[in-house]
Amino acid sequence: MQELSLNVLDIAQNSVRAGADLITILVAEEPEQDRMTITIGDNGCGMSPRQVEQVQDPFYTTRTTRRVGLGVPFFKMAAEMSGGSLSIQSREGEGTVVTATFGLGNIDRMPLGDISGTVAALIQCNPSIDFVYTRRVGDRSMTLDTREFRRILGDIPLNAPEVSVFIREYLEENTAGLLEGEPGNP
């Protein structure tokens, strides 16, 4: 994978397959500590300790359509190449949290890529699942919580074309404001 947002997409799709109805995604850049942390959490079926070990092996997969599972191993490799690490906390019946840390300024850190597009695509393709996406840069942050959109929209689905466009624009505009240094939670 050429950018970290594609790793986020892969891990979040694992959460979808695990039966989650709430997926949280946090991208936190901490320039003072020269660190970026990406956390994907879910309330899906969770994994046993053995499965947590196995999921980091590229030759293990629960999928029947292919014989290897490269998503988590690639994410781990990307983190370690930049001086970071990957951890997985999971409990059967409760869910899973995958946390990857990266050296923010490390020359070997892959670019984040189009994380706004990734989150928008996840929402559009999984309209019955709730997503909470937070992007933090230093002490500034922005959050998109689909539960809030549902309260406002009522019966209008999150993948309705006009809603999908709004969500994408919301993410792009608020991310741009965050990266330009506008204070607060846009």
Q: Which helix (H) or strand (E) holds 26?
A: strand 22-30
**Other C-beta atoms lying within 10 Å of the C-beta of residue 12:** 26
Q: From CA 143, how far away is CA 135, in angstroms rounded?
A: 6
* pLDDT score recorded for residue 53: 85
What is the pTM assigned to this prediction?
A: 0.90
**pLDDT (tens place) for every residue of the chain, 186 residues total:** 589 999 999 999 999 999 999 999 999 999 999 999 999 999 999 999 988 888 877 665 555 544 445 688 899 999 999 999 999 999 999 999 999 999 999 999 999 999 999 999 999 999 999 999 999 999 999 999 999 999 999 999 999 999 999 999 999 999 999 988 754 443
Q: How far is CA 105 from the centre of its chain?
A: 20
Picking from 160, 91, 123, 141, the residue whose alpha carbon sits closest to that of residue 9 is: 123
CB 1 within 8 A of CB 74: yes
C-alpha span between 99 and 97 (Å, rounded): 6
pLDDT at 184: 46
d(CA 49, CA 145): 30
- Do residues 40 and 11 touch, judged by C-beta distance below 8 A? yes
**Alpha-carbon distance 54 to 60, whole Å?**
6
Asked whether 142 and 134 are in contact (CB, 8 A), the reply is yes
In sequence order, which residues have a C-beta less than 8 Å from that of residue 50 and are 6 or more positions away? none
Q: What are residue 146's DSSP bridge partners?
A: none
| CA of residue 21 relative to chain centroid, distance | 14
